[in-house]
Amino acid sequence: MYDRIKGFRDFYPGKMAARRATIDTLEDTARGYGFREIGTPALERAEMWTDKSGDDIVEELYSFEDQGGRHVTLTPELTPTVARMVVAKQQELSKPIKWFSTRPFWRYEQVQQGRQREFYQTNVDIFGSSEPEADAEILAWAADALTNLGLTDEHFEFRISHRDILGGVLETYDADVDIDDAIRAVDKSDKLSTAEYHDLLIGAGLTAEQAVEFDELVAGGDLEAVRAFADTDRVDAAVDNLQHVLEAADDFGAREYCTISLETARGLDYYTGVVFECFDSAGEVSRSIFGGGRYDDLIESFGGQPTPAVGVAPGHATLALLCQRAGVWPDEEVTTDYYVLQIGDTRTEASRITRELRERGHVVETDVAGRSFGSQLNYADSINAETVVIAGEQDLANDEVTIKDMNSGDQMQVPVEEFPGEYERPTFADFDS
């Protein structure tokens, strides 16, 4: 007997049915916006991460040397992969490039609520537009995807900020501030005590007094107060851009879900502009549901032409927690439209009925294990069959089949040539007259 590896999950049919319904909603919403599906490899060169983050990141990767002597890793995120793909065919691709995909990723990290070592995301990205409308469309897709799942503004909020606001404010201090370290401190602030947070800011180069001042300014979330404090072109441009994105989001129907939160920083260094995270409004899910933002420099850093980009990546584990809390998670059960039950030597006619029902797009099962009548009926009940079609030797001798409604238990005989006949979805009710 082998144990499942820690941090990896099995999805049995009922749970997988709920996950599939959720994934279909996310992807169908993306298709409605004109995003096109892509497929990406599970394995990439580890240098795609170590070159930018240093060799220490290997501890967080599922990396190894393959038989060809290459240092490779199971992909921990999608953004570098899609950046590589854009660079490879940059001149051939029509702009803007709008892509989505759903797939697993792997990170060797501590297992906790909503975080596994193998995890699934639906990534949605736009390449080739620096306009606020591109950021707003990502926000609108995320809002529509969540509301299409049955969630409302009572269940989630988008906390939105701009990396250049934080960077521009930090630049105004005389101290030799490590801006990236300070922004990473902001990203961790909601998980730290005030003293711990200030210590990180001091470690990044601020004085104790400046750490307090910076904390209060950022926590206030007042864009005009930030503009007045910094009084720099960088901060002016960032505030204007964030306001323009929010105006576009209003037109696109997503503004009601957005809250300005300058403490939202996103820890990854490749973010360059607007960033946002989705949170459970009730605070019952302990971490962000998902996040996204603008990463205008990444394509160029991979050897491509300067290409602005913005995207988002809902994680399915945390999204499931939110849907479950809100009571909109799909039922974790399999469903079946028809079960064709065979009694005796009736395979030929039972198979004909099964084929015709399947050709009309229905989920249909029939016996493939030579079971008794009772066993087949119990099985039909276990797979939540809506209708059972009984093809018995005596029925067929009378040119009939029996139709049984599994919810009510009612059943009746109908002429075999009339089933399924001209009906697109024949049920007991169609013959009960």
Q: Cite the annotated binding site for L-histidine by residue number.
A: 77-79, 107, 121, 125, 266, 270-271
Place of tokens 């093809």: 391
- CA angle 261/266/272 to nearest 5° reads 95
Provide the CB-side half-sphere exposure for 182 (13 A, CA).
Answer: 26
CA distance 347 to 341: 10
Which regions of 87-241 does DSSP assign to beta strands (E)?
97-106, 118-127, 156-162
Beta bridge partners of 312: 124, 292
Q: Check if the beta carbon of residue 167 is closer than 8 Å to that of residue 267.
A: no
Tell whether the torsion through CA atoms of 87, 89, 91 and 96 is positive or negative.
negative
Question: Which residues participate in the annotated binding site?
Answer: 77-79, 107, 121, 125, 266, 270-271
- Which string of b and e fits 40-52 if b means at least 16 CB within 10 Å? eeeebebebbbee
Q: Check if the beta carbon of residue 83 is closer than 8 Å to that of residue 19.
A: no
